[in-house]
Amino acid sequence: GLTVTAGNPYKTPLAGKGLFVVQDEASQLVTSMLPARPGQRVLDACAAPGGKTTALAGAMKDEGLIVAIDRRPRRVALLRSTLRSAGVTAARVVQADIRQSVPLRAAFDWVLVDAPCSGLGTIRRDPDIRWRRVPEDLPRMAGTQVEMLVQSAEAVAPDGRLVYATCSSEPEENDEVVARFLDARSDFERDDPRDSGRVSPGLMAVLDEAGNFRTLPHLHDLEAFFATRLRRTTRTRS
């Protein structure tokens, strides 16, 4: 990706031609956790507005299958618009609630759950969010996030990967959600991206000791985002 340091890219001659999508830098880096290849199958379980779906399609050279899901009609319309503007043809948009239905069970090489969250990791860009959140939000959202992960896991093929991501800085929505998921699904284990040998310098810079993606404003000059990668095994953990 390119970093825009001045000006408005939407006011350039390239705008509207499907040649770029504007995203926060940390959000762009999250898709580095899913090095999908042309011809693979990817499920984007919370896809709107479509920036990550577009990035995944680019990495796959628009070859293969991406199923992009969102549950609200207006968000689905925005998702379709983003993909159409970007010229993405490999994506199939589905309006559904991932907590209630999973298309093509055990069929995907990669599943991304970019979960709805408190958004507290964006406080640098949106300082007023601190006044819109209350303590009760975190356990409520964490419960939804675990539910989404457990259900989305059904779509992961054996030896496939499940990536969970948030724009939250709070452990209740990040590490604790992952721990609860692993307690519920003994057929998944942590998957450090560094073990695959396919890690970009940008991603390497934001991986912690455990292989989690973790950006912090005071260290990386980015919003506080979190992501982790999990592998579906062919056995269950004891």
Cα–Cα distance measured from residue 141 to residue 196, given in angstroms and rounded to the nearest whole number: 32
The one-character DSSP state at 26 is H
Find all residues with CB under 8 Å of 84, minimum gap 6, and list them. none
SS3 string of 150-202? HHHHHHEEEEEEEEEEECCCCHHHCHHHHHHHHHHCCCEEECCHHHHCCCCHH
Cα–Cα distance measured from residue 119 to residue 167, given in angstroms and rounded to the nearest whole number: 5
The catalytically annotated residue of 167, 177, 203, 227 is 167
Could you confirm whether 167 is annotated as catalytic?
A: yes
Cα–Cα distance measured from residue 85 to residue 62, given in angstroms and rounded to the nearest whole number: 14
User: Which residues are known to be catalytic?
Assistant: 167
